[in-house]
Structure formats: C-alpha cells, structure tokens
Amino acid sequence: MPQVLTVTAGRPGGYPTLRDALEVADDGSVITISAGTYNEALQLDGRRLTFAAAEPGSVTIDVVSADQPAVRARGADLTLRGLTLHAGDANAVEIAGGKLTIENCEVRARYGAGIAVSDRGTVQATELVVKGAEFGVLIEDSTGVIERCEISDVTADGVIARLGADPVIRDTTIAGCRYRGIYVYQASNPTIERCEISRTGDAGISVAHHSSPTIRESWIHDATGVGIFVGRGCGGLIEGNTLESTASPALQIDEGAHPTVVAARADRPRVSAGHQPIDRAIQKDPDRVEKLLADLDGMIGLAGVKNEVRTLIDEIQVNEWRRAAGLSVGAVSHHLIFTGAPGTGKTTVARIYGELLKALGVLPNGDFREVSRRDLVGQYIGHTAEKTTEVFTSAIGGVLFIDEAYTLTRSTGGSDFGREAVDTLVKLMEDHRDEIAVIVAGYTKDMADFLDANAGLASRFAKTMEFENYEPEQLVLIVHRIAENDDYMLAPGLSDGLLEWFHQVERDQNFGNAREARRLLEGMRKMQSTRLRGLGRVPSRDDLRTLVLDDLIAATR
C-alpha cells in the first residue's frame, strides 16, 4: 500500500503545507490535498508521487505572482489529479524527461504553456482543461497521449509538437487560439484523430519542416486561415476529415509535399470531442449555501440587496430543478452592477455572492479577484486588450470585481485606452458567460454614465443592486460590531455620543459609511492609548478593553 499523506491548509488533522508533506513523503506516496488555495511552487526532480484533490476542482495551486511554474520536474514520475494550477510568466506545468500523468485538471498561464513536456518525456493527459495560456500544450522530443481534453483561449498555438515529437492527440477540442490550432514541425509525427478545432487566428493545423503526422476524422471549422496546411517536404496521412468555414483552399498542400489524402465520407457525422466537465453535482454544498445566506442576513442594513441576492439564488435553484425535470432553461447571466457610496458593503457582498455560486455548483471555485483601472488599462495600442484579457482569464471560475469601474470611460487626457478595456470586457463576458461572475461597482450616477459608454455593456449584466448609505443607528451598530471583534467594549453613554455624532456629520459623496465608522473607532483607540498612558499606573484588563465618551470627544475634536 502506498503511503498516504493529507494536506489540510492549516486545519488540524494533516500537514499545513504541500512542502511539509513533501519533506516526509516516500517515493510512491499519495498526497491528498484538502480544499483551498496553495501559493506554493513545487520542484519535484526525480520524485515518484501522486498529488490528488480530496474533491476534484476544489484545490488551486496558484503561483501567478512568482516567475516559475506551479509544478516543475526533471526525471520524475508524477500524477496530478483533480487540481487547478495557475502560473504567471512561466509554464504552468513543466516536465523534462520522466512521465507526467495529469487527469481532470485545469491549468492556466499568463505567458508560456499550460503543459510543457521535453527531453524524451511522456505525458498522459485525460480530461485536462487549458484556458488562457500563451500555448496550450507544448511537446518537444517527447511522446504521450492527450485524450478528451479542452484547450481554449490561448494567445498563440493550441498544441505544438516539435523536435521529433510523436504524441497521440485524440477526442480533444481546441478553440479560440489566436494563431494555429495545432502546429507540427521539426520532423514530428503526431497522430491527431477525432479532434475538433475551431476559431483559430491562422490555420487549423499547420505542418512544416519534414514532419509526417496522421490527421484522421477530425472536424476543423471557422478558421481564419486554411483548415490544414502541409509544407514542402512533409508527408503523412490526412484521412476522413471535415473542413468547413475556413480560408481557401481548405486543404493547402505546398509543392514538394507528399501526404496521402483520403476524403471523408459524405454521410460521416461530425466529431464530438473534448473534455467532459467535472460533474458539478458532486461539488454542491447545500449546508454551505445556508450558512452563507445566514452570513448575508447577519450584515447590518442592506435589506434590498439581501432580497435581490436571495432572488438570484432562488432562480438558480429553480433552474436546476427544471433542468432535472427535462424542461428548458434560459440563459442566465451572473454578472452584476453594484451602485452606491463607499463603505456600504459592496466588496463583502461580492465575496459572499462568489462563494454562493461555488456552493451551488455554478462556478468551480468562487475565487475573488478585485481590480481597478490600472490593472486593466495599458500604455499603448493593443496593450490594454492584452492586459484586460489576462486579468479576465485569471479570474475565470470565480468573481472578477471591478471597483470604480466608471473610471474606465473617463478620459485622463492624451491617449486613453479605458474604452478599449470596456470593449474587450464586453466580448469576454459574453464568450464566458457561464464561467465567471463579473461585478462592476461605483457611485450610482457615475455607473449610469459608464453603462452608456458601450451599447452592449448594460445587456451583459443580470441586475443592478443599489447599496444605500447606512443610517446613523446602523453606523453605531457597525462600531459596536467592529469593537467587539477587536476585543473592545463601549462604556455606558458612548453609544448615545456616537449616535449624535453620526447624525451631525456631513454626508457628502466622500462620506465613507462603514469606513467612516472604522476610522472613528481607530481614532478612539488612539485617544484611549493617550488616556491610559496618563493614568500613572498599569491599566487593568477592563481599562484596556473599554472605550469611553471622552475618547470619542477627543477623537472628533
């Protein structure tokens, strides 16, 4: 029996980190990982190990901020199962020699490949999803099988086979590549069968440099370039493929190329290929839904927002029942608009909403990413679309929260590319409607101007939620709650003083609501420190915990 180690993300009952488990793992060990996000890059040279999510799709290894792969190994025998792997400016998974078995995983990379295999390595990829990388899968001087996988929305080529590589690529979907779907070159001989390749920026499949692939029974359509290109000196077998809606000629064979070509039968059905997504039913958590709704109800104020969120959750549940009963279900957008002043709970509600979508099985991870104009807008033509796409892609599966979104449509003088970011977002939100929740937030009037900036923008959002300013009584409750969480208590009479203060304070558009309450509490704590230092004795425990009316008066003087 292999040694089984459990990583529990800081909770009792297992190792707190992946590195802790690796230090004691014997070769052949299975490391089971509990749900959570782990910001740990794994270097696994010469190891023979299995890493498996306790629940498929619940574990993310995220090293986007580091300039290195999420998993890197040389001469290893690795199995990765049920994981989500995010890298930044590096390959997400990089294997030199040895063997990689990767099953039911999702990988992303900002630059570099989702999976890179070299130095006579072997890859066995099944039910793999690669989204948002520079290259999907790169195989050089190596072999293996890529089966029932999905590669989409990459900025260059979907699959590259080079330096004599001879993998089998079978029953796989490749879509939305900005360059070629599959690029075969440098004397490589892959077998490509029953694949669907579509929406490529160049050829569906391009063959060059004395390569001889077998391309069989695949469906290549909606390509900007030709369906299949075969360059001089190349051979191989092209048999039974369907090429539709491509540049002309659909099959381009250069002079000096010598492949064997067998046409598809007219009655042959189109291929149905690709990754079968994780059964979301096993990821639903009704108890978690009820707890999150209770957390929402426990927030102070926001009665209208709470009702709106519950309505959305009810609609999702009813649609699931209709689907199970075989009834039609209309398309539902999860994108929202939050309007209102600062400090009214917009970010907190957005986080809870993402967790609710995860618990309902609508989104795979519910991760929350907050961005602003500077994260989306570039400095030169084309840079903004690239930056916006990268940010959007990294947030797929969770919530992308854009605060002060109206700044994207405000000119800052000179060349301004904010509107390019909006145009890019509009297209991405439609293409990935079921894979992400985009929430834009800002002042009510400014958000109305923002929505007018693009004709298709408003239609992308399911609902607008108005976050009203807190009443003075609610702000007093917020102070109480923050103080209690920080192990402070309010002396008699202080609540009345707070109420009087919040009634008289000016409420212009710069008023911070809950932020104002926290700022005031911080000021009171500082005044308490000055008061206690002047006692001439060591304060008691009650002295240290208690804020009094004099602290408020001093803080607001």
Residue 225: predicted pLDDT:
93
CATH for 281-467, options being 3.40.50.2300, 3.50.50.60, 3.40.50.300, 3.30.1300.10 = 3.40.50.300
On whether the CB atoms of residues 163 and 190 are closer than 8 A, the answer is no
Residue 213, SS3 per DSSP: coil
Residue 274: predicted pLDDT:
60
Q: What is residue 534's DSSP assignment?
A: T
Given pLDDT bands bounded at 50, 70 and 90, which one contains residue 275? Answer: low
Mean pLDDT across 268-277: 54
Phi/psi-derived region of residue 246, left when phi > 0, alpha when psi is between -120 and 50, beta in every other case: beta
* Strongest mean pLDDT among 10-14, 179-183, 446-450, 552-556: 179-183
- pLDDT 10s digits, 233-272: 999 999 999 999 999 999 999 999 999 998 766 555 555 5
Residue 345: predicted pLDDT:
87
Got the DSSP string for 418-436?
HHHHHHHHHHHHHHTTTT-
Domains 281-467 and 472-556 agree in fold: no
The length of the chain is 557
Given pLDDT bands bounded at 50, 70 and 90, which one contains residue 282? Answer: very low
Given pLDDT bands bounded at 50, 70 and 90, which one contains residue 51? Answer: very high
- pLDDT 10s digits, 294-348: 989 888 888 888 898 888 888 888 887 776 676 666 666 788 999 888 888 888 9
| pLDDT at residue 278 greater than cutoff 50 | no
Strands 83-89 and 42-43: unpaired
What does pTM read for this prediction? 0.52
Q: Which residue has the higher pLDDT, 397 or 150?
A: 150
What are the boundaries of each domain within the chain?
Answer: 281-467, 472-556
Rounded to the nearest angstrom, the gap between the alpha carbon of residue 499 and the centroid of all alpha carbons in its chain is: 43
Given pLDDT bands bounded at 50, 70 and 90, which one contains residue 208? Answer: very high
Got the DSSP string for 313-354?
HHHHHHHHHHHHTT---------EEEEE-TTSSHHHHHHHHH
- pLDDT 10s digits, 348-383: 999 999 889 888 888 877 788 898 888 888 776 667
Mean pLDDT score across all residues of the chain = 86
Q: What is residue 413's DSSP assignment?
A: S
The proportion of the chain whose per-residue pLDDT surpasses 90, expressed as a percent, equals 41
- pLDDT 10s digits, 453-492: 777 778 788 788 998 888 889 888 988 888 888 888 899 9
Measured CA to CA, the distance from residue 466 to residue 341 in angstroms comes to 9
Does the domain made of 472-556 have the CATH classification 3.30.2270.10? Answer: no
CB atoms < 10 A from the CB of 62, how many?
Answer: 20
Measured CA to CA, the distance from residue 65 to residue 45 in angstroms comes to 22
Sign of CA dihedral 132, 168, 179, 243: negative
| pLDDT at residue 551 greater than cutoff 70 | yes
Residue 423: predicted pLDDT:
84
Of 222-226, 231-235, 243-247, 395-399, which gets the smallest average pLDDT?
A: 395-399
